[in-house]
Amino acid sequence: MSSVVEFASRLVAIPSVSSQSNVPVSDCIAEMLESIGFQVERQAFPDPKGIPKANVIGKLGSGKGGLAYFAHTDVVPADTWSIRDHGPFEPTVRNCRLYGRGSCDMKGSIACALAAASQLDVRILKEPLYFVCTADEEVGFHGARFVVDHSSLYREMVAGQTRAIIGEPTELGVVHAHKGIFGFRAIAHGKAAHSSTRDGTNANMAMIPFLAEMKKIHDETLTDPTWLNNEFDPPWISWNLGINDLNCAVNITAPRSICTAYFRPMPGQDGNLLVERARLAAEKCGLEFHSECAGQPLYGDPSSEFISESVAIAGGFRSRTVCYGTDGVMFTELRQILVLGPGSIQQAHIDDEWISLDQLERGTQLFSKLFQHWCSR
């Protein structure tokens, strides 16, 4: 138990907010993996703003197939951290909980997987254990996309159809499906001037008809069976609009107006259809259009051997669905995939983030059972 808390505390103490570099925490994980005996592939790349980022992919054992554990090392900002006794990157154990940014989402999970892997006897492995830690899951899955495009070990997993566990917090229950994530941005351009003159052009005027079409799509997705799935709660795609003209005064014609839209399609739904509809509406209104992200829904067959046996090992009765997304939206080439990890999504991203020591202990035990079951049978 002390080792998993030590591992988790060590990782939490290394700041890795998505807007910053995750290289130090990635180096720490690579060092831990190598000490266990993993072959390590390290990927370095800049994010869209030029900030250094890193992925770490490891392999323990030989051959193909086996099991892969996936996690991300970036965390959300901690600007509103509410605990006065210690900062967000000062891991603190109190009341049977480990507090700190990333303790639940998802460095606690990484610590459990590392502790479980350290207990494995490589001599009994008949198939390999892979370990994948990515950058920038919280801001668009950039690290996961880089793994898909550039990792030789990931190509090996796809060729061998390695079973995959995304270690996000599920309170150690098996999740067989989650929603995808699509997003875009439309921009109307105008000309700033004093609103009492005829010199300006208000960008919001061009945006209004586009927003009317976006509202129409929003309403359709609440009633059209094409965009509904009662296996999820809520059963719709959560078409969410943001509007901002960045105007600094009420008497200036807005030189720019921005609409953002994000939505979460479910298995069997093609989110590209709605993106293309929005693109055509933007062109009609004379707006600039940018696709921001496109991640497909994750789905594993709940009756498959991988999921049903994993449910049994986890001590559950059935798998379930969730409405949040994971790096799994990028790893859809792996057909045997599920989400399973310690901690609750209710504790993720909050201003006093924590994970219970019980979940860390049970998570280590469960990962140990799963690693042995799928790699040594």
Q: pLDDT (tens digit, 9 = 90+) per residue, 147-167?
A: 999 999 999 999 999 999 999
Residue numbers of the domain that contains 41: 2-178+297-376
Structure tokens at 203: 């960008």
Q: Are 186 and 259 found together in one domain?
A: yes
Q: Are 58 and 131 found together in one domain?
A: yes
107: left (phi over 0), alpha (psi -120 to 50) or beta: alpha
- At 191 the pLDDT is 96
CATH number at residue 285: 3.30.70.360
For the chain, give percent helix, strand, coil, nearest 5: 35, 25, 40
pLDDT over 80 (residue 2) = no
Q: pLDDT (tens digit, 9 = 90+) per residue, 110-135?
A: 999 999 999 999 899 999 999 999 99
pLDDT over 60 (residue 376) = yes
- At 352 the pLDDT is 97
CATH number at residue 18: 3.40.630.10
Rounded Cα distance, 110 and 133, in Å? 8
Of the candidates 117, 120, 131, the residue with the CA atom closest to the CA atom of residue 164: 131
- At 150 the pLDDT is 97
The rounded mean pLDDT for the chain is: 96
Query: Catalytic residues, which ones?
Result: 74, 137
Mean local confidence (pLDDT), 68-80? 97
pLDDT over 70 (residue 1) = no
Binned at pLDDT 50, 70 and 90, residue 314 comes out as very high
User: Which one-letter DSSP state was computed for residue 66?
Assistant: S
- At 293 the pLDDT is 86
Mean local confidence (pLDDT), 252-272? 96
- At 259 the pLDDT is 98
Indicate the residue among 295, 315, 343 that finishes a domain. 295
pLDDT over 80 (residue 41) = yes
Q: Are 147 and 236 found together in one domain?
A: no
195, amino acid identity: S
Binned at pLDDT 50, 70 and 90, residue 339 comes out as very high
Indicate the residue among 295, 325, 350 that finishes a domain. 295
Of the candidates 24, 30, 20, 74, the residue with the CA atom closest to the CA atom of residue 56: 30
Number of domains in the chain: 2
Q: Cα angle at 262 between 269 and 331, to 5 degrees?
A: 55
Q: Are 186 and 132 found together in one domain?
A: no
pLDDT over 70 (residue 205) = yes
Indicate the residue among 244, 278, 295 that finishes a domain. 295
| Residue 156, CA distances (Å) to 57, 62, 132, 145, 296 in order | 12, 11, 13, 16, 21
Q: Are 173 and 317 found together in one domain?
A: yes
Binned at pLDDT 50, 70 and 90, residue 377 comes out as confident
101: phi then psi, degrees, rounded to nearest 5: -65, 125
- At 140 the pLDDT is 86
Higher pLDDT, 315 or 248: 315
